[in-house]
Amino acid sequence: MTGMNELSEDLSFEEAFAELQATIDELRGETLTLDRSLSLYERGTALATHCNGLLTVAELRVTQLDTVVESATASEVDW
């Protein structure tokens, strides 16, 4: 069993983002203990880092695809 702040590497962006939103909503509650607040904050930080990493990978893929498309388009142009 994984701990609350351990994330599965195969957690999708959508799953992690939904859990992050739920974590933020719970943190906004007024009846949390200090320990629960800290635990949720740590989990939220881990989820945000995970989402950021997935977005960085997606951005790199888009950049690489754009480069391939631009190269193909440039080689097709007759000057």
Considering the entire predicted model, what is its pTM? 0.78
| pLDDT, mean of residues 42-71 | 94
Res. 2 pLDDT band, cuts 50 70 90: very low
For 2-34, the three-class secondary structure string (H helix, E strand, C coil) is CCCCCCCCCCCHHHHHHHHHHHHHHHCCCCCCH
Arithmetic mean of pLDDT, 16-26: 98
Percent share of the chain, pLDDT over 70: 89
* Residue 11 CB partners (closer than 8 Å, separation 6+): 50
User: How confident is the model over 31-42, as pLDDT tens digits?
Assistant: 999 999 999 999
Per domain, the residue ranges of the chain are 31-67
Averaged pLDDT for residues 24-37: 95
